[in-house]
A and B are shown apart, each in its own frame.
Chain A
């Protein structure tokens, strides 16, 4: 009985661990569905990602990525390829991409809170400064 349960939970964990589509959350200040869908398609076509978040704000686009555990060895390469792709899709936007877990947490917090214009600008500036911090 115990063995059966162990096997079952192992299989369940394996299945849930290997969900194909990455979890994508986005927020657009002007609620432009077309831009959101374009961004989402970039993430959903990439099978190395486990999670992604993006926030549009006044010609600014901040994106954060989380890659799947075994793909973490080539995290920087995946980040650069996505950065290139997003920049080519949104040439009029100032694109910022980060693969840091803290940036993902902060972006998800922003998306949940849906702040006003002024707060959002300050939050996004803070995030970008944080990502560039070296010490």
Chain B
């Protein structure tokens, strides 16, 4: 059996992935998370002195904190199993990645275990987030200096 026929047999035998259903689930889960975030943002604007522009900072912090709590209680795992990418792509996925990695490595000690592995998954988000922010800011600064756009 060569590689090609082997792959054919695998394709025939493996259960078909319900791509459309998974997409719909991810859409609904991600949408729900974003709707909750919008509600929290409105709460900050209504009850505190935050504007549309400034309310995003405490909203992100609250969403990450909630996701961290839910990860600790084991609820976020179930949401992730149902929603897939819909629960990983919003900022709540970041909180989940930090806490699940630290729970996993807790037994190895607080410094080398927890401290060293906490950002094993989320570190990539921070590195590329900071780097892309730097690149975008650089491009914008250049465009402003050249007089193409204004701040």
Residues of A within 8 A of B (CB): 100-103, 105, 130-131, 133-135
Contacts and interface: CB of A to CB of B under 8 A. Distances in A.
A130 B53 contact: no
A131 B54 contact: no
Contacts of A102: 45, 50-52, 55
Interface residues on B, range: 10 to 19
B46 interface: yes
A101 B52 contact: yes
Given A133-B54, A135-B54, A101 B49 contact: no
How would you classify the secondary structure of chain B's contact residues: helix, strand, loop or mixed?
A: loop
Interface of B: 45-46, 49-55, 57
B41 to A, nearest CB: 10
A103 B55 CA distance: 13
A98 B46 CA distance: 17
A32 B6 CA distance: 85
18 contacts: A100-B51, A100-B52, A101-B45, A101-B51, A102-B45, A102-B51, A102-B52, A103-B51, A105-B45, A105-B46, A130-B51, A131-B51, A133-B49, A133-B51, A133-B54, A134-B53, A135-B54, A135-B57
A80 B3 CA distance: 63
Contacts of B46: 105
Contacts of A135: 54, 57
A103 B50 CA distance: 10
A135 B31 CA distance: 27
A103 B51 CA distance: 7
Given A102-B45, A105-B45, A134 B54 contact: yes
B81 to A, nearest CB: 32
